[in-house]
Chains A and B, each alone.
Chain A
Amino acid sequence: DAKTTQPPSMDCAEGRAANLPCNHSTISGNEYVYWYRQIHSQGPQYIIHGLKNNETNEMASLIITEDRKSSTLILPHATLRDTAVYYCIVRARVRYNTGTASKLTFGTGTRLQVTL
């Protein structure tokens, strides 16, 4: 599985953009980059994913470098409710007898603290 490297913690002022970096230099050509977050005492929440192109949804934007070795998750206007641990994951596809499946391997993530 391609490993990811994230800074352990980051701070962001409320209302500003939060830019969370992730390195995944060993990513394979068909592996997707996924982002999840975990707010205290809750289950992980899916944010966004991408393969090559930049992606945007109602929660965030995902910028993937052309060589795909790194990516950045952007929360355009961070709020206090965005305080959470953010996980960058390279989704591995696993072959088994009757097909394929996708596995997520969670690292330690980045603890984002949004402050007033």
Chain B
Amino acid sequence: DIQMTQSPSSLSASVGDRVTITCRASQSVSKYLNWYQQKSGQAPELLIYAASSLQSGVPSRFSGSGFGTGFTLTISSLRPEDFATYYCQQNSIPPYTFGQGTKVEIK
């Protein structure tokens, strides 16, 4: 199975900060990398697909980049509603494994 490793596991940030989360795959997943946001008690929501494509309706302050084994999710200016847990997932080779999550907390 492909292992997905996110860093950091958690971070504290302030409203307005630029936040970057990294996801590394144990082998190449090409561009097949998605990012999800999950708020407490809710189902995850798709933010980014195919590494860098913004899902319809998602604010443009979210962006994704990367290819192969290294990927990043960037929030350009953190808003109060962005405090949540973020997961990457590869959908290149089954099983479509997730990272362990990154919890973004209020500083």
| Pair from one complex | no
